[in-house]
Amino acid sequence: MRTFIYIGLLSLSLISCGEAVNEQKDLAAVAGSYYGVLSLNPETEIDLKLELSSNGFYKIVHPSLMGSDQLVRESGVFMVKGDEVELARLQKGFRYFKKMGDQLFVYNLFHQPYTSFSDSAFYLQPDTDAKAF
């Protein structure tokens, strides 16, 4: 009986892992370096640099959202779901993005737009000078 339970759990985990892995073409479609200056409120502008590689890993650099002068440098994995990119991050902010042409639109931590899609202050542009990483 225990063997059947282990086999059942193993098959469920394999199915869920298989659903979580993106195709190489999906990852390559969003791969690149992106940069933007985001205005989350009138007093604060945040420089955000994001690099998405075609093997499913990301690097992100931005000032701390807690008000300190420290830079947050983080790397990890990301997933692509249709035209949306989700970073597997420990930080609460900057997890969700939407691919719109060659730009990425930034969602808030509740997976909602900060503002309307027409507001250019919430887009990351392709970064041609990606030496910052």
Residue range 22-132, CATH number: 2.40.128.640
Give the DSSP letter string of 39-81: EEETTEEEEEEEEE-TTSEEEEEEE-TTSSSPEEEEEEEEEEE
Structure tokens at 8: 């059942």
Instruction: Look at residue 92 in the predicted model and tell me its pLDDT.
Output: 72
- Structure confidence by residue, pLDDT tens digits, 26-41: 898 899 999 988 877 7
Does position 73 have pLDDT exceeding 80, yes or no? yes
Mean pLDDT estimate for the chain: 78
- Structure confidence by residue, pLDDT tens digits, 99-124: 988 899 888 777 777 665 555 678 88
Instruction: Look at residue 16 in the predicted model and tell me its pLDDT.
Output: 44
Instruction: Look at residue 127 in the predicted model and tell me its pLDDT.
Output: 81
Residue 31 CA to residue 72 CA, distance in Å, equals 21
Q: Which is it for strands 103-106 and 96-100: parallel, antiparallel or unpaired? A: antiparallel
Distance of CA 126 to the CA centre of its chain: 14
Residue 112 CA to residue 100 CA, distance in Å, equals 15
Does position 78 have pLDDT exceeding 80, yes or no? yes
Instruction: Look at residue 10 in the predicted model and tell me its pLDDT.
Output: 56
Name the band, by pLDDT with cuts 50, 70 and 90, for residue 25. confident
| Domain range list for the chain | 22-132
